[in-house]
Amino acid sequence: MSIKQLAIVCGTHGNEITGVYLMKKWQKNSQLITRDTFQTKLVQGNPKAYEVNRRYVDQDLNRQFSKASLANESLSGYEELRAKVLNQIIGPKSDPKTDFVIDLHTTTSNMGPTLLMPQRGRFYNFLAAYVKQQMPDVTVFCDEDHKHNDEHHMVCTMGKYGVVVEVGPVPQSVLRHDVFEQSEALTQVILDFVDLYNQDKLPELPASIEAFRFLKSLKLPLNEAGERIGMVHKNVQDKDFKQLNPGDPLFITFDGDVIPYDGDTTVYTAFVNEAAYYDNNLATSLMEKITLEIK
Amino acid sequence: MSIKQLAIVCGTHGNEITGVYLMKKWQKNSQLITRDTFQTKLVQGNPKAYEVNRRYVDQDLNRQFSKASLANESLSGYEELRAKVLNQIIGPKSDPKTDFVIDLHTTTSNMGPTLLMPQRGRFYNFLAAYVKQQMPDVTVFCDEDHKHNDEHHMVCTMGKYGVVVEVGPVPQSVLRHDVFEQSEALTQVILDFVDLYNQDKLPELPASIEAFRFLKSLKLPLNEAGERIGMVHKNVQDKDFKQLNPGDPLFITFDGDVIPYDGDTTVYTAFVNEAAYYDNNLATSLMEKITLEIK
């Protein structure tokens, strides 16, 4: 299957403003995001959240795209409504007019440029290998979650294919030159891939690449009343995609007691101390390092 | 004059949460912030802004403490009201019951631990020298603004003396272990200073120290409609208190054009790309490096 219709979604989270400024740039210079073999639609995910400089108005927009939520007409929160309109523009999820969705995000975590892939398959493997070949600094983050795509709740799962461009560290509501450049460069490489894929002109790709697969999230240390009693230890802060071994310092209580990682095996961290995850007291994601066979 | 009554204000900005968590720690262990020669009051600056996880509700609280604003009873914004209550608790500014106010802040800029002093004088010089002696990583930031204290609008100017503890980088709404530790350590050193000052037991201090004095703020590049057309150049990002020379890259437009610094002399930056200053399109503060004579 070739990719005929592509959508780039910017500003899905209102305070991740890098994507919104890239959108403004691309609106003025649309040739930057078009290629001969496909058409590109540029969509601002959550303009109202951007206006009020918040991640969202009522709910996280990037959690509203399961097939069940999209079908549930009794939901009336702002993002629950916005999701249905985006599904009209880009989807419908069950039989989408859009072949490929690129959703632009930033994180306060030190993740560098990251390609997040919510599904498995040959198309994704080739994409990841091409991206690693062209931009070796990119980390490939597999978040398939072992679900059927219908259950996935992310914006990018509206298309036949979809990925997240996730770049950090950058504080919420801030533009960083380096993060802006990395977000733009990674998007360009993905667009180049799609164009080459459509023409069956991909270069020779590596037989396998390094990637990371999501295992689970860890919560911050809480007391019985659910109040935080500590924070991410400085040995883990900024160490996204680095090893965390059993017994390594993981948290420190406000009183100064170190809480070590109590797992049985070496894992890797991601979304370390991400600002947006404080709502749910999430401290970090844990990942396994994998070898992705390119076939 | 000795310091008998001291106040520590935490959470003046609701999304600078480091101070709020230090406050919770100190509420449980009040001996950490008391010394034999003075009494300490612990005050949460803006509890409502903290609750909604915003810098402020209606206005920046740290701009409401000029004598004229405090006297103006027609002002009815949330922070305009809160300022008057804080002035009852800590002030009144004209004849304060509090001898010394320490106001805890964080910044998204890479400023490290910074001691910000809004007034001049022997007390401040001794404080700054003691802090540099005990914690050489601290930067001394003079922001006297050539005004009489009555015109100063910051929380810490309610006391006879007052300073800001300003530490970064940390995104808004995030706790970083290193920033938490630095904020706590700098506060402790200031409390130790006050105790020694009261007893006339200060150690021998250096004859002079390095410091930086605020000159002016620079705006982001804007078009005629007032819209941003660029961002802080990556050569300047994270380079707080580093040299900026005439002709050095300062901004980059979204289209990739470098805008150099067009000043005549070497200056130093601070609050580089601070998230909270986007409201006013401020890109950075410019500072001069000075030698503060300790006398």
Q: Are the Cβ atoms of B234 and A24 closer than 8 angstroms?
A: no
CA quadruple A129, A132, A134, A138: dihedral positive or negative? positive
Mean pLDDT for A92-102 is 96
pLDDT class of B22 with cuts at 50, 70, 90 = very high
Encode pLDDT of B97-137 as tens digits.
999 999 999 999 999 999 999 999 999 999 999 999 999 99
Task: Please provide the size of chain A in residues.
Answer: 295
pLDDT class of A146 with cuts at 50, 70, 90 = low
- Decide if pLDDT at B1 tops 90: no
Q: Mutate which of B254, B274, B280 to disrupt the A interface (most A C-beta within 10 Å)?
A: B254
What percentage of chain B carries pLDDT values higher than 90?
A: 96
- Decide if pLDDT at B146 tops 70: no
Provide the pairing of β-strand B258-260 with B267-270.
unpaired
Provide, as residue numbers in chain B, all residues whose Cβ is less than 8 Å from the Cβ of A254: 21, 24-25, 180
* ipTM of this complex: 0.95
CA quadruple A206, A207, A209, A214: dihedral positive or negative? positive
pLDDT class of A181 with cuts at 50, 70, 90 = very high
- CB contact A280 to B (< 8 Å): no
- List the single residue in B with minimal CA-CA distance to A228: B21
Measure the CA–CA gap between B257 and B249, rounded to whole angstroms: 10
Provide, as residue numbers in chain A, all residues whose Cβ is less than 8 Å from the Cβ of B231: 21, 175-177, 180
Q: What is the 3-state secondary structure (H, E, C) of chain A?
A: CCCCEEEEEECCCCCCCHHHHHHHHHHHCHHHHCECCEEEEEEECCHHHHHCCCCCCCCCHHHCCCHHHHHCCCCCCHHHHHHHHHHHHCCCCCCCCCCEEEEEEECCCCCEEEEEECCCCHHHHHHHHHHHHHCCCCEEEECCCCCCHHHCCCHHHHCCEEEEEEEECCCCCCCCHHHHHHHHHHHHHHHHHHHHHHCCCCCCCCCEEEEEEEEEEEECCECCCCCECEEECCCCCCCCCCEECCCCEEEEECCCCEEECCCCCCEEEECCCCHHHHHHCEEEEEEEEEEEECC
Of B174, B177, B234, the CB nearest to A252: B177
Encode pLDDT of A26-47 as tens digits.
999 999 999 999 999 999 999 9
Of B21, B171, B233, the CB nearest to A171: B171
pLDDT class of B147 with cuts at 50, 70, 90 = low
- CB contact B30 to A (< 8 Å): no
- List the single residue in B with minimal CA-CA distance to A21: B254
Of A21, A178, A252, the CB nearest to B234: A178
Sorted by where each starts, the structural domains of chain A and their CATH numbers stand as 5-206 (3.40.630.10), 214-287 (2.20.25.160)
Looking at every residue in chain B, the average pLDDT score rounds to 96
Encode pLDDT of B33-71 as tens digits.
999 999 999 999 999 999 999 999 999 999 999 999 999
- Decide if pLDDT at A266 tops 90: yes
- CB contact B246 to A (< 8 Å): no
What percentage of chain A carries pLDDT values higher than 70?
A: 99
What percentage of chain B carries pLDDT values higher than 70?
A: 99
- Decide if pLDDT at A19 tops 80: yes
Provide, as residue numbers in chain B, all residues whose Cβ is less than 8 Å from the Cβ of A32: none
- List the single residue in B with minimal CA-CA distance to A251: B177
Q: Mutate which of A27, A110, A182, A254 to disrupt the B interface (most B C-beta within 10 Å)?
A: A254
Of B108, B178, B254, the CB nearest to A21: B254
Q: Are the Cβ atoms of B275 and A172 closer than 8 angstroms?
A: yes
As given in the structure block, the two tokens for residue A163 are 């990925």
Distance from CA of A42 to the nearest CA of B (A): 17
pTM: 0.96
Measure the CA–CA gap between B124 and B118, rounded to whole angstroms: 9
- CB contact B275 to A (< 8 Å): yes
- List the single residue in B with minimal CA-CA distance to A173: B275
Provide, as residue numbers in chain B, all residues whose Cβ is less than 8 Å from the Cβ of A24: 254
- Give the residue, B278 or B144, on which the prediction is more confident: B278
Mean pLDDT for A120-149 is 92
Residue B91, SS3 per DSSP: coil
Mean pLDDT for B251-258 is 97
Distance from CA of A123 to the nearest CA of B (A): 32
- Decide if pLDDT at B223 tops 80: yes
Q: Are the Cβ atoms of A173 and B175 closer than 8 angstroms?
A: no
As given in the structure block, the two tokens for residue A248 are 């390594």
Of B25, B108, B233, the CB nearest to A177: B233
Half-sphere exposure of A226 (CA within 13 A, CB side): 4
Output the pLDDT for position A150: 84
Measure the CA–CA gap between A55 and A46, rounded to whole angstroms: 9
- List the single residue in B with minimal CA-CA distance to A169: B171
Give the contacts of A223 (CB within 8 A, at least 6 positions apart).
Answer: A229
- CB contact B206 to A (< 8 Å): no
Encode pLDDT of B150-184 as tens digits.
889 999 999 999 999 999 999 999 999 999 999 99
